[in-house]
Every structure is written in structure tokens, then in C-alpha cells.
């Protein structure tokens, strides 16, 4: 999975060990990468390798139920948790930015965010547009590793989408992997094409090269009819966002040589970018932050109304989190797409009553091009993930699948993150910044038998703004793997249920009662 993260078809910049999300890396440097591979290939079944920010630092004798790898990435003590301090330490070679699934080796390419993005746009459609995006135009920016899912998620919901990116290569890459339909050569051409699609209620996505800080205000000024506005540029890291007036080719050197000046310019641009988003909000559009911290950066850039629109979790996703639902994913180590097709069929058999899941699996099978190892994502909840995981393990054991399957999830999950601008924004009890939950999540997954467990800081929204944990299990078909999977995939989404019960969400309390999640404070 480490190698898969860095496969040229998967990683955004494999030569620099960067997988996605600005500078999210899989290993600290190349010597660390080689040491990781050497250690992983010689590790015994009762040993555990410890990884400190992308570098293997020790191997200890543990036991068969213990994870084979424990990972801690990018963590800093509270008062030191700033990008400036992080970069100073990074320059000294002491840390690396692990994002969420880059440094924890469970990135599966743009598909990894696709279903979440699809569900988010489906929720927008349900809330505002009668259940479909047909006849609507969505404006967004950022067509990178994760942001590239947006155009396909919009067209899967029947809508038209205009996506702005400063980097033509990123747009081309999404066309090649079928996430984006076409790239226009000018803004005018793009606008004509998407306006026609909107009028004719056709699903179509169009990319155009430009800086969002320039193009968003320009579209607002022109009064273009836009129904939905969001953004997924790499705003979580001001040194990864390209400021207005800076040439794409010059940006990396400029950011490296004058980080403070670059940061100020990036934040000033984000302030303009977000001001235009608020302009669209005032004009009646549905506007939301898609988890990249752009509101926080725009506020630092001096724009006072940056938080006028909500983040996507409180707006659309939290009810799913209350049921322990989140981005469950798996990859076929055989490399054979037929193995994923077989698991797709198994999921449909396991949950015949879930229509939206069936629609997703069908659309994904038809429209998602695999990057690297064939993989699938689908959002499953408490009481569902363990059933899917044990079934996959049985399929490996019986020989129905050709090789083991790796089962994991994004760190963006129901009970594994503290992130006040994203997963825990506007919690009912105000507990947004309480970070005990992701730590408990990592501990319980370690205690339950996950194959590798990780604790990261700063993923998604940037240094100082989040703490989150991940787990991955290897389904190798053995009885012991089955037992581990059953426990991990029950307890891991169970964290989402208890986290939301604790915060006072009634629907989570109902899930706990009906599905038997034990809540000590509710017992007499
Ligand atoms: P990425 O680095 O692969 O892509 C970022 C893209 O933004 C690049 O294509 C870049 O050219 C473009 N860009 C930068 N500045 C721009 C500007 N001024 N105008 C137009 N385009 C610009 O990052 P990614 O993996 O796609 O992630 C994007 C953001 O989403 C990150 O902040 C990441 O942390 C966040 N994220 C959100 C979620 C979620 O679930 N909502 C999940 C993962 C990541």
C-alpha cells in the first residue's frame, strides 16, 4: 500500500513522495522509504514497526494481535502547532506532512473522495433542487488529487460543472482519468458550454485554466447564473495555494525563498476568492466550504465575512456520522479488477435494502477508472462495515478472490477526527476542538487488532487545525484476520456513534440503543 500510494498513476508528485493534498507525503525522504520497505519485508508476525513522520524509527516485539505498523505523523505540541514552526522542523529533516491517507498508506486515488463528494452534492440537490442537479450550474476550483472528484460527482448528480484550476496539467489528468469531461481554451468558451448544458439540463463538466481569486470575482461581476459554489484548491496550506499575479512555474521557488511574503499574498488572494463566494451566497446560491480551510485563511487575509457560509459537514454530512457512517474503502492486492467486481456484487447482496448504495456501486462500476490497485469506496455505518469486511475475508479464504484485500478508510470519518473547521464544526455541545476522540479511536483500533494504525495532525485543514486517526486491516482469508476485522470494523465506526451520543445527537442515541452500542453514562 505504501508503494501503491506512490505509484505514478496514483500520486500527484511521486518523485517528491507527494501523494495528494498539497504536500501530503507517504515517506519522509527516499532513504526513509527504502528503510520502510526493507523493514516491512522482513518484519515477523509478532513484531511492530514504529514510524515517526514518515521514517521508521524502531521495531519492537509485540504479539500476533498487535498492529504490524504504528504511525504518528506531523504531530506538534499545541503552542508550537503553526505552519512556520512545522516548516522549520521539516527543513531540519525532523518531520513531514502526512495529510490523512498519504502518510498512512491508504490513498486510493481520486475515487477516495468521490462517493463523499457525490453524496454531498446529492444532499445539496435534495435540499435545494428537488433531488437532482439537472438544470443547475456548479462553480468550483481546484482539480487536484481530491478536488478532481468534484466534476464527476456533479455530473453523476445530473448537473453542469465549471471547475477552475491554475495548472493545465491537473485538468488534463482529470480528463484522462474520466473525472472531467473537457477543458475549454478560454473562459468565454467555457461559460457558453456550461450555460448551454444548464439550459438543456445536460450533465457536463468543463475545466478552464485560471486563478480562482481572479475568475470567481469576474464571474460574480458578469452576473453569470450559478446555482452552487464551493472550492477545493489546496487552501489548507498557504504555500500550496497560488496567489494572484504569481506564475504557476515560479510559485514553488517563490514559496520556498520568501514564505512569509508568499503566505501574505496567498491569504490576500483567498480573501478575494472567498469574498466572491459570499457574493454568490448573497445572490442566492448554495455555497459551502469543502473541507480545505479556505474560510479560515481568508479571515487571516483580512476578509471579515469569511464564515458567512457553512462547512459541508454540519450542512450535509453530520446525520451520516451519527449512524457511524463514513468512507469505508478497500483495495484488491491481486491487482485484478475482477476482484473488485466480485466485492461490489457482495456489497449489493449484503445490503439489498440500501437503494442509494446500490446506485453508487452501479455508477462507480461504470464510471470510475481505477488508479493503481483496483479499489472501491462506499459509505457504510455501524453494523455494516464488519459484515462487509468479514465477507471479503471469507471470499479471500475460499479462493473467490485471487489475493488478500486491504480494508481501511479515510481519516475523515465519523469518530476519528477533531477538526473545528471541518468534521467537528458546530458540534451540538460546542466540543469542536476536543481532540481526545481521535486518540481514543487510534487506541481502540490498536487494541482491537488493526493491521496498521496512525495518528496525524493537520490533515485536510492544515497545521494547528486538526488531529485525526486511521486504521487499516488486511483480509488475508485466515480465521484470525476474520476475528480482528469483526472487532475493528465494529469498534471503529462505533467511535462515531459514541462521539455523537456524547455531543447530544438524538439520532446517534437511537443508533446506540437499537444496534447495541454500550454507553456507560446512559446506564443506571
Ligand atoms: P492538490 O494539491 O492535489 O490539488 C490542489 C489544486 O488546487 C491543484 O490542482 C492546484 O493547481 C490548484 N490551485 C492552487 N491554487 C489555486 C488557485 N489560486 N486557483 C485555482 N487553482 C488553484 O490537493 P487535493 O488533494 O485536491 O486537496 C484539495 C484540498 O481539499 C486540500 O486543502 C485538502 O486538504 C482538502 N481535502 C478535502 C477533503 C474533503 O473531504 N472535503 C478531503 C481531502 C482533502
Q: Which atom of ligand 1 is nearest to the CA of 22?
A: 2
Residues 337 and 473 in one domain: yes
291 lines ligand 1 (CB under 6 A): yes
**Host domain of residue 381:** 324-522
Distance of alpha carbon 524 from alpha carbon 510, whole angstroms:
17
Q: Is residue 100 part of a domain?
A: no
Would you call 378 a catalytic residue per the annotation?
A: yes
233 lines ligand 1 (CB under 6 A): yes
- Nearest-CA residue for atom 31 of ligand 1: 234
- Nearest-CA residue for atom 38 of ligand 1: 291
Residue 524 pLDDT: 80
Q: In 3D, which of 87, 105, 143, 102 has the Cα closest to residue 16?
A: 102
Q: Is residue 102 part of a domain?
A: no
CA of 147 to the centre of ligand 1 (A): 5
First to last CA, the chain: 46
Running DSSP on this structure, what letter comes out for residue 457?
Answer: E
- Nearest-CA residue for atom 29 of ligand 1: 234
| Residues whose CB is less than 8 angstroms from the CB of residue 108 and which lie 6 or more positions away in sequence, other chains included | 10, 101, 329, 331, 371, 372, 373, 375, 377
139 lines ligand 1 (CB under 6 A): no
Number of other residues whose CB lies within 10 A of the CB of residue 261 = 12
What's the pTM value of the predicted model, to 2 decimals? Answer: 0.92
Distance of alpha carbon 165 from alpha carbon 178, whole angstroms:
17
Residue 522 pLDDT: 84
Distance of alpha carbon 32 from alpha carbon 26, whole angstroms:
10
Residues 364 and 233 in one domain: no
- Nearest-CA residue for atom 4 of ligand 1: 144
Q: How many CA atoms lie within 13 A of 219 on its CB side?
A: 38
Q: In this predicted complex, what is the ipTM?
A: 0.98
Mutate to test the pocket of ligand 1, among 100, 117, 234, 459 (most ligand atoms within 8 A of CB): 234
CA of 19 to the centre of ligand 1 (A): 12
Cβ–Cβ under 8 Å, residues 415 and 501? no
Q: Which atom of ligand 1 is nearest to the CA of 270?
A: 18
Residues 279 and 392 in one domain: no
Q: Is residue 104 part of a domain?
A: no
Q: Is residue 485 part of a domain?
A: yes
CA of 477 to the centre of ligand 1 (A): 37
232 lines ligand 1 (CB under 6 A): yes
CA of 240 to the centre of ligand 1 (A): 8
Residues 149 and 68 in one domain: no
Q: What is the CATH number of the domain that holds 485?
A: 3.40.1770.10
Residues 115 and 144 in one domain: yes
- For cell 469576474, what's the residue? 218
Residues 304 and 328 in one domain: no
Q: Which of 280, 309, 338 is at the close of a domain?
A: 309
CA of 20 to the centre of ligand 1 (A): 8
Q: Is residue 96 part of a domain?
A: no
Q: Is residue 314 part of a domain?
A: no
Residues 470 and 419 in one domain: yes
Residue 523 pLDDT: 86
Q: Is residue 493 part of a domain?
A: yes
| Annotated binding residues | 21-22, 99, 145-147, 165, 170, 211-212, 232-236, 241-242, 290, 460
Cβ–Cβ under 8 Å, residues 376 and 344? yes
Residues 14 and 134 in one domain: no
The percent of the chain in helix, strand and coil, each rounded to the nearest 5, is: 45, 15, 40
Residues 299 and 336 in one domain: no
For the chain, the domain total comes to 3
Q: Which of 41, 63, 91 is at the close of a domain?
A: 91
CA of 116 to the centre of ligand 1 (A): 15
Cβ–Cβ under 8 Å, residues 96 and 52? no
Cβ–Cβ under 8 Å, residues 460 and 236? yes
CA of 301 to the centre of ligand 1 (A): 18
22 lines ligand 1 (CB under 6 A): yes
212 lines ligand 1 (CB under 6 A): yes
- Nearest-CA residue for atom 21 of ligand 1: 165
Distance of alpha carbon 295 from alpha carbon 283, whole angstroms:
19
Running DSSP on this structure, what letter comes out for residue 522?
Answer: G
Residues 435 and 365 in one domain: yes
Residue by residue, DSSP assigns 480-497 as HHHHHHHHHHHHHHHHHH
Residues 338 and 482 in one domain: yes
Q: Considering 143, 322, 378, 473, which one is annotated as catalytic?
A: 378
User: 148 vs 8, 42, 179, 395, CA distance in Å?
Assistant: 16, 37, 7, 32
Q: Which atom of ligand 1 is nearest to the CA of 273?
A: 18
Residues 328 and 269 in one domain: no
| Annotated binding residues for NAD(+) | 21-22, 99, 145-147, 165, 170, 211-212, 232-236, 241-242, 290, 460
Backbone φ and ψ for 378, nearest 5 degrees, come out as -155, 140
Q: Which of 266, 285, 309 is at the close of a domain?
A: 309
21 lines ligand 1 (CB under 6 A): yes
317 lines ligand 1 (CB under 6 A): no
141 lines ligand 1 (CB under 6 A): yes
User: 456 vs 76, 100, 470, CA distance in Å?
Assistant: 10, 7, 8
474 lines ligand 1 (CB under 6 A): no
Per-run averaged pLDDT (10 residues), the chain, 524 residues:
97 97 97 98 97 98 98 98 97 98 96 90 93 97 96 95 98 95 98 98 98 98 98 96 98 97 98 98 97 96 98 94 96 98 97 89 91 96 98 98 98 97 97 98 98 98 97 98 98 98 98 96 86
Q: Is residue 99 part of a domain?
A: no
Amino acid at each position: 500500500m505504501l508503494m501503491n500510494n506512490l505509484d505514478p498513476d496514483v500520486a500527484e508528485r511521486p518523485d517528491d513522495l507527494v501523494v495528494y493534498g498539497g504536500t501530503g507525503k507517504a515517506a519522509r525522504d527516499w532513504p526513509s522509504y527504502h528503510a520502510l520497505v526493507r523493514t516491512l519485508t522482513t518484519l515477523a508476525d509478532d513484531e511492530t514497526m514504529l514510524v515517526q513522520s514518515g521514517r521508521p524509527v524502531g521495531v519492537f516485539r509485540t504479539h500476533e494481535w498487535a498492529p504490524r505498523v504504528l504511525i504518528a505523523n506531523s504531530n506538534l505540541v499545541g503552542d508550537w502547532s503553526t505552519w512556520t514552526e512545522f516548516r522549520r522542523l521539516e527543513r531540519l529533516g525532523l518531520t513531514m506532512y502526512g495529510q490523512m491517507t498519504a502518510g498512512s498508506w491508504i490513498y486510493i486515488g481520486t475515487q477516495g473522495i468521490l462517493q463523499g463528494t457525490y453524496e454531498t452534492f446529492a444532499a445539496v440537490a435534495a435540499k435545494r433542487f428537488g433531488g437532482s442537479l439537472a438544470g443547475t450550474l456548479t462553480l468550483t476550483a481546484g482539480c487536484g488529487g481530491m478536488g478532481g472528484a468534484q466534476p464527476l460527482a456533479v455530473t453523476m448528480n445530473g448537473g453542469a460543472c465549471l471547475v477552475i484550476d491554475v495548472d493545465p496539467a491537473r485538468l488534463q489528468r482529470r480528463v484522462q482519468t474520466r473525472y472531467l469531461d473537457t477543458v475549454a481554451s478560454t473562459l468565454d468558451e467555457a461559460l457558453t458550454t456550461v450555460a448551454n448544458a444548464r439550459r438543456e439540463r445536460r450533465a457536463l463538466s468543463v475545466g478552464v485554466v485560471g486563478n480562482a481569486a481572479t475568475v470567481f470575482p469576474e464571474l460574480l461581476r458578469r452576473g453569470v447564473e450559478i446555482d452552487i459554489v464551493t472550492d477545493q484548491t489546496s487552501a489548507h496550506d498557504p504555500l500550496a495555494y497560488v496567489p494572484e499575479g504569481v506564475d504557476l512555474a515560479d510559485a514553488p521557488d517563490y514559496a520556498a525563498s520568501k514564505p512569509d511574503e508568499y503566505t501574505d499574498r496567498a491569504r490576500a488572494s483567498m480573501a478575494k476568492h472567498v469574498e466572491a463566494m459570499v457574493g454568490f451566497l448573497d445572490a442566492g446560491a448554495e455555497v459551502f466550504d469543502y473541507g480545505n480551510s479556505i474560510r479560515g485563511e481568508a479571515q487571516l487575509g483580512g476578509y471579515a465575512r469569511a464564515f458567512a457560509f457553512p462547512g459541508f459537514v454540519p450542512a450535509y454530512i453530520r446525520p451520516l456520522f451519527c449512524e457511524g457512517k463514513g468512507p469505508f474503502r478497500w483495495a484488491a492486492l491481486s491487482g485484478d479488477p475482477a476482484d473488485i467486481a466480485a466485492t461490489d456484487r457482495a456489497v449489493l447482496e449484503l445490503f439489498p435494502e440500501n437503494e442509494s448504495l446500490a446506485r453508487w456501486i452501479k455508477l462507480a462500476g461504470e464510471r470510475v477508472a481505477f488508479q493503481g490497485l483496483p479499489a472501491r469506496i462506499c459509505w457504510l455505518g455501524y453494523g455494516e462495515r464488519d459484515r462487509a469486511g468479514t465477507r471479503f475475508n471469507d471470499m479471500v479464504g475460499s479462493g473467490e478472490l485471487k489475493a488478500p484485500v486491504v480494508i481501511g478508510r479515510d481519516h475523515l470519518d465519523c469518530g476519528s477526527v477533531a477538526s473545528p473547521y471541518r468534521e467537528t464544526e458546530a458540534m451540538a455541545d460546542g466540543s469542536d476542538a476536543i481532540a481526545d476522540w481521535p486518540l481514543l479511536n487510534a487506541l481502540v483500533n490498536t487494541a482491537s487488532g488493526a493491521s496498521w494504525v496512525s495518528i496525524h495532525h493537520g490533515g485536510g485543514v492544515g497545521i494547528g487545525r486538526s488531529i485525526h486517526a486511521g486504521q487499516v486491516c488486511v483480509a488475508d482469508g485466515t480465521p484470525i484476520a476474520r476475528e480482528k476485522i469483526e472487532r475493528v470494523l465494529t469498534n471503529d465506526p462505533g467511535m462515531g456513534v459514541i462521539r455523537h451520543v456524547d455531543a447530544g445527537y438524538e439520532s446517534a442515541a437511537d443508533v446506540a440503543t437499537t444496534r447495541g452500542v454500550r454507553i456507560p453514562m446512559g446506564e443506571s
